């Protein structure tokens, strides 16, 4: 069947609670595509980045997704960074969604076809004491998860003692006692001397991974930690392109990469990053504490990418979202609901979910002003998120 050519007629953005930024593209023939450009705490900046994208791409052929990406990335001279790449990611996701609807195909079908029928998923749990953590892990198990992620520590500085390590081990064991596997997120809040000790203390627990044991800008330190522990090291939510990931592949500093499809240039850019990782035998676990369109894009990636190992998923109690569930804005909630530890691969066209446009427009009448909380050490100094 021949599909008549069309052009991009409209690009809209919507700041919706709790902290999301949705993108809507409409073509001249009336087709619509949705994407997500959420950048936590910087929604207004990303909204502003859409102004030059509108000027450049309204009237452009929406089928030329790679060309649009290249022009958006390279045509402005200044490249990369979370704001520009998040805007480009939301635009690119929406283009895949629109193209899929026009041709009647899911994005994964257009990106090479399916390599799996479902993908394992994990969700966040909070809590400071072992009892709280055990209850949170039990609740996630009841929601259909077989794996969770949790904070490694409270705010920490440079030095620690065996007593501190014992407390971390107890917290992990409280979650594992509920029959779930555990990934531990350091959030880059631990400095290298302590991170090395803590990584060694955690090794007997059989963790899925330790995430950001150091910040990604400390490339040499991460490679150092990789040499002293057998626990897989994960990172990547603060990297925004294949060029950002390249040195980590070359140094062997990482075992699992976590690109965020709403920060790292979108679906196809993350597919390219994953292909680079595959050549180094590195797994992919996309970062996604975001909304339904971001997760839907991740599932499209999982469908067609051999080295995707597990998928992060946000729910209503994640990050104190005030009761806002990621399923609020879609009509086909079963598509993003885990069963026996797995999320299904969407079968519908585009990104595979149906947005409730009226609900989005209503919610965007009162745009959110979400900001990252600020954490401090016991001595009053700033602590990483």
Catalytic residues: 187, 287
* 210 in Cβ contact with 184 (< 8 Å): yes
φ, ψ (nearest 5 deg) of residue 18 = -85, -30
Give the separation between CA 345 and CA 352, rounded to whole angstroms: 9
* 236 in Cβ contact with 217 (< 8 Å): no
DSSP 70: H
Contacts (Cβ under 8 Å, ≥6 apart) of 198: 152, 153, 160, 165, 168, 186, 190, 213
Peptide bond into 18 cis (omega under 30): yes
Give the separation between CA 215 and CA 193, rounded to whole angstroms: 13
* 335 in Cβ contact with 344 (< 8 Å): yes
CB neighbour burial string for 123-157, b if at least 16 within 10 angstroms, e if fewer: bbbebeebeebbbbbbbbbeebbbbbbbbbbebbe
Query: What is the CB-side half-sphere exposure of residue 21 using CA atoms within 13 A?
Result: 28
* 325 in Cβ contact with 316 (< 8 Å): yes
Rounded to 10 degrees, the C-alpha dihedral 68/33/40/176 comes to -110
* 348 in Cβ contact with 335 (< 8 Å): yes
* 12 in Cβ contact with 23 (< 8 Å): yes
φ, ψ (nearest 5 deg) of residue 3 = -100, 120
Q: Is the dihedral of CA 33, 34, 39, 41 positive or negative?
A: positive
């Amino acid at each position: 069947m021949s599909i008549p050519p069309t052009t991009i007629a409209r690009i809209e953005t919507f700041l919706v609670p709790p902290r999301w930024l949705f993108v809507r593209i409409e073509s001249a023939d009336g087709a619509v595509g949705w994407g997500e450009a959420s950048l936590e705490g910087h929604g207004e900046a990303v909204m502003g980045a859409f102004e030059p994208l509108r000027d450049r791409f309204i009237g452009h052929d929406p089928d030329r997704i790679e060309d649009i990406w290249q022009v958006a990335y390279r045509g402005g001279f200044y490249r990369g960074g979370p704001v520009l790449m998040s805007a480009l990611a939301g635009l690119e996701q929406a283009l895949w969604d629109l193209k899929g609807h026009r041709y009647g195909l899911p994005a994964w079908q257009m990106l090479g076809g399916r390599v799996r029928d479902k993908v394992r998923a994990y969700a966040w749990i909070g809590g400071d004491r072992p009892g709280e953590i055990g209850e949170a892990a039990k609740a996630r198990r009841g929601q259909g998860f077989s794996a969770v992620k949790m904070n490694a520590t409270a705010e920490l500085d440079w030095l620690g003692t065996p007593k501190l390590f014992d407390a971390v081990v107890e917290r992990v064991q409280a979650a594992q006692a509920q029959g779930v596997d555990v990934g531990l997120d350091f959030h880059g809040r631990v400095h290298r001397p302590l991170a090395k000790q803590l990584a060694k203390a955690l090794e007997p627990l059989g963790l899925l991974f330790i995430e950001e044991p150091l910040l990604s800008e400390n490339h040499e330190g991460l490679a150092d930690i990789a040499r002293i522990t057998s626990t897989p090291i994960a990172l990547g939510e603060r990297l925004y392109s294949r060029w950002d990931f390249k040195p980590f592949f070359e140094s062997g500093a990482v075992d699992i990469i976590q690109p965020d499809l709403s920060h790292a240039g979108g679906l196809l850019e993350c597919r390219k990053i994953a292909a680079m990782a595959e050549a180094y035998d590195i797994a992919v676990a996309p970062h996604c504490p975001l909304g339904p369109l971001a997760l839907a894009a991740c599932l499209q990636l999982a469908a067609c990418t051999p080295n995707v190992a597990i998928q992060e998923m946000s729910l209503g109690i994640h990050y104190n979202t005030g009761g806002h569930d990621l399923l609020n804005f879609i009509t086909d909630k079963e598509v993003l609901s885990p069963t026996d530890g797995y999320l299904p691969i969407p079968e519908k066209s585009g990104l595979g979910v149906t947005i409730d446009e009226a609900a989005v427009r209503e919610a965007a009448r009162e745009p959110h002003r979400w900001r990252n909380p600020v954490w401090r050490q016991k001595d009053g100094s700033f602590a990483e998120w």
